[in-house]
Amino acid sequence: MKKIKKKGDLPSGFIVIIVLLLIGFAILLIFLFKFLWQERIDKETCHQSVLLRGTASSVSKLAEDYVPLKCKTTKYCITTKLIGKGNCKEFSGEEKEVTTVRVKDEEDIEQFFAREIIDCWSMMGEGRLSLFSQYIKETYALGQDIYPTCVICSRIAFDEDLKNNIDLLSQINIEEYMKYHKVPDKDLTYFDYLARDRGKISIKTDSIGGSKLFGGSSSSGEVGLTENEVQPSTIYSEQMSILFMQISAPTSSGVIKNDLKAAFGTEVVGGFIVGAKFIIVGAKLIAKPEFLAAVLVFGIYQQYEVAKNRAISAAYCGDISVGSDARSGCSVVRTINYNVGDITKYCQAIESIP
Better-predicted residue by pLDDT, 312 or 140: 312
pLDDT at site 222: 30
CA–CA gap between residue 324 and residue 336 (Å, rounded): 25
Answer whether residue 308 shows pLDDT above 90. Answer: yes
pLDDT at site 6: 54
CA–CA gap between residue 177 and residue 324 (Å, rounded): 31
Confidence class of residue 345 from pLDDT cuts 50, 70 and 90? Answer: very high
Burial 219-250 (b: 16+ CB within 10 A, else e): eeeebeeeeeeeeeeebbebbbbbbbbbbbbb
How far out from the chain centre does Cα 254 lie? 27
Residue 55: how many other CB atoms lie within 10 Å: 13
Segment 166-178 shows an average pLDDT of: 88
Answer whether residue 225 shows pLDDT above 50. Answer: no
The residues near 163 (Cβ < 8 Å, ≥ 6 apart) are 169, 235, 236
Rounded to 10 deg, the angle between the 106-123 and 38-59 helix axes is 30
Any idea what the Cα angle at residue 293 is, between residues 287 and 299, rounded to 5°? 110
- The answer to whether 351 and 69 have CB atoms below 8 angstroms apart is yes
Residue 315: how many other CB atoms lie within 10 Å: 14
pLDDT tens string 206-223: 545 443 333 333 222 333
Answer whether residue 279 shows pLDDT above 50. Answer: no
- The answer to whether 85 and 99 have CB atoms below 8 angstroms apart is no
pLDDT at site 24: 60
As a residue count, the chain comes to 354
Percent residues over pLDDT 70 in the chain: 68
pLDDT at site 13: 63
The chain-wide mean pLDDT, for the chain, equals 77
pLDDT at site 207: 46
Using a cut of 0.85, tell me whether the model's pTM lies above it.
no
Query: Which of 20-29, 87-96, 311-320 comes out lowest in average pLDDT?
Result: 20-29
- The answer to whether 165 and 127 have CB atoms below 8 angstroms apart is no
Answer whether residue 231 shows pLDDT above 70. Answer: no
| Residue ranges of domains in the chain | 31-248+331-350
Phi-psi domain of 148 (left: phi exceeds 0; alpha: psi -120 through 50; beta: other):
beta
What Å distances lie between residue 65 and 47, 70, 114, 189, CA to CA? 17, 13, 31, 36
CA–CA gap between residue 329 and residue 318 (Å, rounded): 9
CA–CA gap between residue 339 and residue 336 (Å, rounded): 9
Strand partners, 154: 74, 242
DSSP H or E stretch at residue 107: helix 106-123
CA–CA gap between residue 173 and residue 114 (Å, rounded): 11
pLDDT tens string 57-112: 666 666 666 788 999 999 999 999 888 788 899 998 888 889 999 999 999 999 99
Residue 320: how many other CB atoms lie within 10 Å: 25
- The answer to whether 224 and 326 have CB atoms below 8 angstroms apart is no
CA–CA gap between residue 84 and residue 197 (Å, rounded): 39
pLDDT at site 289: 77
Q: Which amino acid is at 238?
A: E
Strand partners, 202: 334
Confidence class of residue 11 from pLDDT cuts 50, 70 and 90? Answer: low
- The answer to whether 150 and 190 have CB atoms below 8 angstroms apart is no
- The answer to whether 216 and 317 have CB atoms below 8 angstroms apart is no
Answer whether residue 135 shows pLDDT above 60. Answer: yes
pLDDT at site 62: 63
